[in-house]
Structure 1
Amino acid sequence: MLRSTWNFLKRHKKKCIFLGTVLGVLSMLPTLREALMQQLNSESLTALLKNRPSNKLEIWEDLKIISFTRSIVAVYSTCMLVVLLRVQLNIIGGYIYLDNAAVGKNGTTVLAPPDVQQQYLSSIQHLLGDGLTELITVIKQAVHKTLGSVSLKHSLSLLDLEQNLKEIRNLVEEHNSSSWTNNNGYKSLLCHYMMPDEETPLAVQACGLSPRDVTTIKLLNETRDMLESPDFSTVLNTCLNRGFSRLLDNMAEFFRPTEQDLQHGNSMNSLSSVSLPLAKIIPIVNGQIHSVCSETPSHFVQDLLMMEQVKDFAANVYEAFSTSQQLEK
């Protein structure tokens, strides 16, 4: 009876954690969007273009790079935010379950008191701060390498855009695979944008650590181990694939063939049938941040939150951290 009761509570707790993830992600998206719009301020460039300056071609080139960078970073960072918060809340949820299970037992110590939970969850600010800034730098370089030489007059189809996004992703993710390897030799995908290196910031304070700090560092190290695992890399990559697919779906609305186009044959429904000059695509790409980083439940965020791979991984994390063996680590 007691065992079945605890199993019921664990299932109920998982639903609460999922709801917490949804609310947490939606509450952080405005902060993420604001940070992106501040660091990649395309609005100031479009304002300059309205005055028809003599260097408008140079401004357009800057706008091209910033617009693509902003939308691509938005996809990456939103996917990271969803999966990272899901992992963190399930780790905390596992510890809270163990704390509740130990209520009334003599000599038990609370594993995750509220102040530790708060300090631990605040580590997500790295993704919204230094991690985001570094991610912007890497993606901007990849965008420049891929699209820097493409003329504003050059026409691109949706299929061309898809190929360009793949090339940019390859540059970004190859960069991280070659520059970041954990102690086991496994190449971790994008992990250091989500969490600071082990040496910073709390771990460097080897002297005078409070019990709260020690517990928080333990949680952070356990989280880092999760983020550096092949399973996490697979889940994040699946989210990124879905995210970029949704981004292309959003832009597809602007590539619909006209009636005149359709008169030329049925093939006009393909991804390569309609092409637009890059100068006309830039505003379309530039506006995608408002869809990707929308705090109102959007198809983009809903897709990520409801993915089976994400739910299964989160469930495995919760199970791993809600077992009594966790106490022995």
Structure 2
Amino acid sequence: MLSSTWNFIKRHKRKFIVAGALVGGVYLLGKYAQRKLQEMQEREAAEYIAQARRQFHFESNQRTCNMTVLSMLPTLREAIIHHLNAESLTALLKSKPTNKVEIWEDLKIISFTRSIVAVYSTCMLVVLLRVQLNIIGGYLYMDNSVTKNGTTPLAPPEVQQQYLSSIQHLLGDGLIELITVVKKAVQEVLGLVSLKQNLSLQDLEQHLTRVRRLVEDDCGSLKHRTLSWYMMPDEENTLADQASGLTENDITTIKLLNETRDMLDSPDFNTVLNICLNRGFSRFLDNMAEFFRPPQQDSTPCSTPDSLSHVSLPLAKIIPIANGQIHSICSEIPSHFVQDLLMIDQVKEFAANVYETFSSPLDLQK
């Protein structure tokens, strides 16, 4: 019996070896698959955590953008009022001067110019800060990422301060140039309109459209004078100012500024800016419409835009209304005007794309 068993084993030895190898292979394959599955699950968990961390950082960055916009509006407002001082003309009118009509004509131009400039510059401030703070936000995310392993920061504090200080161009030379262009357009459109002439909301809208066309067409026809020029100076000027003795931080700042210019020159940016301008001027007209409404009585239905289409006011009465709009447009207290701009879906989407671009290791290593 033992002999026959041993003979059976000898005859089928190779089969037993093969079977054992198969069983061992299946076991090893199972262990390998289990290990790979665990690695995949750990990788997916790490990616989910990283994505959640980046999303949290992005949302926090957007809140910072909103607060920064609101905090800078008083400075912008004061700068506009300083260059377009309608209050001094109003004070002169109270003294009953002999050249009253001439002063009213000046007040007409200044009042509309500063409200239109306020719309332009506030829209520019919103979108420019969205670009700048999301670029720097992307760099900061990479600096705080575990993948950095304590290497040299991409955006040290000195670079952040130097880079973000470029916003002063919009509040300084850029604003002065914008005022010059807008004032010229307002003079051309409203210069010959009599102070006694009645204007409806539709008339105002047509005048604003003409002013915008002159401003934006004029920008497009001049070299280096697109709307983005008012937000950032020419690259050549910036480099010339720092032509000698560039530090490593200076070089990083220039790189950031050049990346920002690329964004400002992109079709997506111009689309978003135009959407903001359309919304801004629409809100400006909505604000003006409130003064065209007749006094409401309890039994009187609320006025609708259609019912106001035939309501008109003398231009002399519209001027003070237009003059005061700057305080609504450039208000640090969240107003309908600014909130409308901050809540535009295309602005949010564009901000997300900018952040995504500059929080990617591949993009930042270029």
**TM-score bin, normalised by smaller chain:** over 0.9
Q: Aligned residue for 1:154? A: 197
Given candidates 53, 56, 61, the residue that maps to 1:9 is 53
Moved more, 113-122 or 251-260: 251-260
Residue aligned with 1:156, SS: strand
- 1:48-96 deviation line (CA, Å, top 9, x unaligned): 0001100000000000000000000000000000110011010011111
Per the alignment, residue 121 of structure 1 pairs with 164
Quote the offset at 1:315 in angstroms.
0.2
**How big is each residue's C-alpha offset from its partner over 1:180-202, in whole Å with a ceiling of 9 and x where there is no partner?**
45xxxxxx840000000001234
Give the aligned partner of residue 184 of structure 1: none
Aligned amino acid, residue 41 of structure 1: N
Report which of the two structures shows the higher radius of gyration computed on alpha carbons.
2
Kindly indicate whether the alpha-carbon contact (under 8 Å) linking 1:29 and 1:293 is maintained by their aligned counterparts in 2.
yes
- TM-score normalized with structure 2 length: 0.84
> Gaps spanning 5+ residues in structure 1: where?
182-187
Deviation at 1:273, TM superposition (A): 1.2
Question: Who is 1:176 aligned against?
Answer: 219
Q: 1:50 aligns with which of 91, 94, 115?
A: 94
1:103 shift after superposition? 5.4
Q: CA deviation at 1:306?
A: 0.8
Deviation string, structure 1 residues 98-152 (Cα, Å, up to 9, x no partner): 112255637x321111111111111001000010000000000000000000000
Q: Does the Cα contact within 8 Å between 1:202 and 1:213 map onto a contact in 2?
A: no
Match of 1:112 among 141, 149, 155: 155
Counterparts in 2 of 1:320 and 1:259: CA distance versus 1, 3 Å: closer
Indicate conservation of the 8 Å contact 1:27/1:295, yes or no.
Answer: yes
Identify, as 1 or 2, the structure richer in helix: 2
* Count of paired positions: 319
1:256-275 deviation line (CA, Å, top 9, x unaligned): 14689x99xx9994342100
Q: Which runs of 4+ in 1 moved over 3 A?
A: 257-260, 266-271
Indicate conservation of the 8 Å contact 1:158/1:275, yes or no. Answer: yes
For residue 183 of structure 2, what is the aligned residue in structure 1?
140
- 1:22 maps to which residue? 66
Tell me what 2:22 maps to: none
Q: Could you tell me which residue of structure 2 aligns to residue 185 of structure 1?
A: none
Alignment match, 2:335: 298
Q: Find out whether 1:270 has 2:307 as its counterpart.
A: yes
Instruction: Please give the alpha-carbon distance, in whole angstroms, between the structure 2 residues aligned to 1:250 and 1:75.
Output: 12
* d(CA) in 1 for partners of 2:172, 2:142: 32
Question: Is the Cα–Cα contact under 8 Å of residues 160 and 272 in structure 1 kept in the other structure?
Answer: no
What corresponds to 1:131 in structure 2? Answer: 174
Q: Is residue 36 from structure 1 mapped to residue 80 from structure 2 by the alignment?
A: yes
Partner-residue secondary structure (3-state), 2:291: helix
Q: Distance in 1 between matches of 2:354 and 2:238?
A: 25
- Superposed displacement of residue 174, structure 1: 0.1
Contiguous gaps of at least 5 residues in structure 2: 1-44
1:88 is aligned to 2:132: yes
Deviations 1:167-188 (A, max 9, x none): 000000001111145xxxxxx8
Q: Are the aligned partners of 2:139 and 2:364 in contact in 1 as well (CA < 8 Å)?
A: no
Kept in 2, the 8 Å contact 1:83–1:310? The answer is yes
Decide whether aligned partners of structure 1 residues 268 and 239 sit closer, same or farther in structure 2, where only a CA change above 3 A counts.
closer
RMSD: 2.0
Q: In structure 2, what is the Cα distance between the partners aligned to 1:267 and 1:297?
A: 25
Corresponding residue to 2:119 among 66, 70, 75: 75
Task: Please give the secondary structure, in 2, of the residue aligned with 1:53.
Answer: coil
Counterpart Cα distance in 2 of 1:268 and 1:319: 41
The TM-score, its normalising length taken from structure 1, stands at 0.93
Letter in 1 for 2:193: V
Name the SS of the counterpart of 1:164 in structure 2: helix
Return the alpha-carbon distance in structure 2 between the equivalents of residues 196 and 259 of structure 1.
49
Task: Report SS of the residue matched to 1:255.
Answer: coil
2:357 pairs, out of 313, 320, 323, with: 320
- Match of 1:222? 259
Contact 1:152/1:277 (<8 A) preserved = yes
The alignment partner of 1:200 has SS state of: helix
Which one-letter code corresponds to 2:194 in the other structure?
A: S
Q: In the alignment, is the contact (CA less than 8 A) between 2:293 and 2:308 conserved in 1?
A: no
Could you say which residue in structure 1 is the equivalent of 2:207? Answer: 164
Question: 97-106 or 285-294: which moved more?
Answer: 97-106
The residue identity in structure 1 corresponding to 2:99 is: N
Deviation at 1:206, TM superposition (A): 2.7
Percent of aligned pairs sharing the same letter:
68
Cα distance in 1 between the residues matched to 2:170 and 2:296: 46
